[in-house]
């Protein structure tokens, strides 16, 4: 299964996926292209170091969200992408994008959805006073972090945590969970019934 990873920043989740692939832990999945909407980010360097094709599509250079997403679809299709993994990609995709890859766009989010969707999820958890938060891998739908949940992992909020400490603790779990979810999808072990997702062992 050809995977395209969309990024905007540091790309530590991308690295975890690439590392899992190098260890033979992604099953039939392999990353064929990494696309960023921001030039010069660390995620692109990580892709290049792994010998994976990259593309930069600066969203501000497109007249509309629709035009940006059409270019995104064309770039991914050109590489034969079958599964799209958003990994720190800080753009909301359009319905047309989702229709191009039905049930094949996934995201990792640094909270236990449906708690703390959107940006700064770790800060939201701290400000709310949550004692447990975590991360979620979910299908992307037309809402913001609202699609069916594939896998989640819980992470404690510790006394004295600041945003950086909590972010780092959650990332450890993201890096474990995201490759596992991609592998399950590539293995054909994931079925969706409405909102309920089953992942067979």
Catalytic residues: 109
Residue 13 binds ligand GAR (CB under 6 A): yes
The smaller minimum CB distance to ligand GAR, of residues 43 and 76, is found at: 43
Cβ atoms 107, 28 nearer than 8 A:
no
Counting beta carbons within 10 angstroms of the beta carbon of residue 40, is it exposed (0 to 12), middle (13 to 18) or buried (19 or more)?
Answer: exposed
Residue with tokens 């959805």: 113
Among candidates 188, 69, 42, which has minimal Cα distance to 140? Answer: 69
Residues 62-91 that bind ligand GAR (CB under 6 A): 87-88
Judged by phi (left if over 0) then psi (alpha if -120 to 50, else beta), residue 80 lies in left
**Per CB under 6 A, does 148 bind ligand GAR?**
no
User: Is 37 near ligand GAR (CB under 6 A)?
Assistant: no
Site map 178..197 versus ligand GAR, x via CB under 6 A:
--------------------
Q: Which residue is nearest to ligand GAR (CB)?
A: 88
Contact set with ligand GAR (CB under 6 A):
9-13, 43, 87-88, 108-110, 121, 171, 174
């Amino acid at each position: 299964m050809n995977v395209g990873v969309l990024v905007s920043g540091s790309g530590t989740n991308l690295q975890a996926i690439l590392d899992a692939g190098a260890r033979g832990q992604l099953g039939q999945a392999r990353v064929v292209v990494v696309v960023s909407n921001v030039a010069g980010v660390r995620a692109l360097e990580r892709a290049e170091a792994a010998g994976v094709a990259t593309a930069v599509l600066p969203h501000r250079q497109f007249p509309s969200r629709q035009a940006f997403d059409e270019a995104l679809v064309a770039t991914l299709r050109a590489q034969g992408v079958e599964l799209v993994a958003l990994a720190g990609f800080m753009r909301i995709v359009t319905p047309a994008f989702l229709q191009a890859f039905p049930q094949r766009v996934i995201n990792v989010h640094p909270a236990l959805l449906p708690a703390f969707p959107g940006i700064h999820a770790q800060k939201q958890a701290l400000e709310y006073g949550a004692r447990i938060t975590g991360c979620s891998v979910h299908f992307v739908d037309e809402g913001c972090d609202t699609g069916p949940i594939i896998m989640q992992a819980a992470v404690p909020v510790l006394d004295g945590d600041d945003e950086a400490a909590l972010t780092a603790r959650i990332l450890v779990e993201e890096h474990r969970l995201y490759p596992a979810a991609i592998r399950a999808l590539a293995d054909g072990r994931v079925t969706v019934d409405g909102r309920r997702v089953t992942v067979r062992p």
